[in-house]
Amino acid sequence: MDAASQAQEMALTGVKVLEMGALIAGPYASALLAQFGADVIKIEPPKNGDPLRKWRKLHNGTSLWWYTQSRNKKSVTLDLKSEECREIVRKLVAEADIVIENFRPGTLEGWGLGWEQLSAINPNLIMVRISGYGQTGPSSQRPGFAAIAECMGGLRYVSGYQDRAPVRVGVSLGDTLASLYGVVGALMAMYHLKVNGGKGQYIDVALYEAVFAVMESLIPEYAMTGHIRERSGAALPGIAPSNTYQCSDGRYVAIAGNGDSIFKRLMTAIGREDLAQDPELAYNDGRARNVEMLDRVISEWTGRHGLEEILTVLDEASVPSGRIYTAEDIMNDEHYRAREMFQQVELPDGQQMTLPGIVPKLSATPGRTKWIGPTLGQHTQEVLDSIGVTPEQLARLRASGLV
């Protein structure tokens, strides 16, 4: 299959995206669009580019994370503090379908690149604006990072154990959730524009609200009953049994036996037919009242068996269970491999690198990795040529350090 026919199989072929921002939330949103065929132009500062280029583990001075998050993007360097470079951005906006930015609210307005100015250039424009606290409200001007958003959104308070300080998830979950909401909003806005004959619009995504939106029944429980959900370790509050249990070999197993029929199969599998038939435990509300007893019973059973034996027994009983995966476990898992969740790519020095596979899996128009994260400014000349920037103007901008 030639490159042209491959491109036609990507769901977002023909969609033009301009990314202005750095690090995680905005760039991850555009990364998702790029993986499904959108033409993403990433604007970076000329000198050092996106700080993500230097985050976490580096290979020859470049972040491995960068190669993953910036695949399929085009890197263009522009100094947005320069009016001449901002005029170039306006030309790019005139041809864009979506602009994604994650500056502090008011920053783009100060540069003459806010929503009112850009939508006047392109009335069909869709603009995704991701910030810590949203574009409005008394906290909108505060600096916002995912670590703080996870606290304000309620996630940190319920994470960990009650006798210890709240803990964070080991990834920047608040950024990722905001990115996902940004992409969903952009695609809904595009549908409204293309199918319903609507207008362009902007999507206001706050990091803390993205976290807050996935907090399930946290607010109704408090508003109706005054209940404040507390930290519960590895258990799932009010849903039983669902916890992590230690095995005889010192490893841990996660067991989710909280479905009514699943619970009966679990109890039968561990030799507690009496509990499987107990009417008090037939439904979740009764099991939740007896969760400490159930966790004790399950722990006593797992404490007598090794992890592999436990997984075999529970698989045979069709009880959801699993080991606690490390990166090594993931890389060695046959199901991950069967689902093509690893992609081999080549770094600029010729060394092979493994990228995570693309999610979700579309049956007719799947996403793919066309190239890894670009070098700083790799596509500046190509992109600027396409909007009529002359070689002389580009040379002058380069000499002045603006690109």
Question: CB–CB of 36/69 below 8 Å?
Answer: no
Tokens of 196: 């319903």
| Residue bearing tokens 């920053």 | 107
φ/ψ of residue 84, rounded to 5: -65, -40
Q: Produce one character per residue of 101-137: b if its CB has 16 or more CB atoms within 10 Å, e if not.
A: bbbebebbeebebbbeebbebbeebbbbbbbbbbbee
Question: CB–CB of 86/107 below 8 Å?
Answer: no
Alpha helices in 18-61 (DSSP H): 25-35
CA geometry: angle 231, 233, 236, nearest 5 deg: 85
Residues 6 or more apart from 373 whose CB is under 8 A from it?
A: 62, 66, 67, 68, 69, 70, 71, 73
Question: CB–CB of 101/26 below 8 Å?
Answer: yes
Q: Distance between CA atoms of 34 and 15, rounded to whole angstroms?
A: 9
Give 279-300 as a DSSP string. Answer: GGGSSHHHHHHTHHHHHHHHHH
The DSSP H or E segment spanning 254 is: strand 252-256
Q: Residue 97 catalytic?
A: no
Amino acid at 72: N
Q: Which of 39, 175, 204, 295 is catalytic?
A: 175
| Residue bearing tokens 């990166």 | 327
- Distant-in-sequence contacts of 156-164, Cβ < 8 A, 24+ apart: 157/229, 157/230, 157/231, 158/218, 158/229, 158/230, 158/231, 158/232, 158/237, 159/231, 160/231, 160/233, 161/231, 161/232, 161/233, 162/230, 162/231, 162/232, 162/233
Q: For residue 7, give the nearest of 42, 38, 41 by alpha carbon.
A: 38
Give the 3-state secondary structure of residue 199. coil
Residues 6 or more apart from 3 whose CB is under 8 A from it?
A: none
- Residues forming the active site: 175
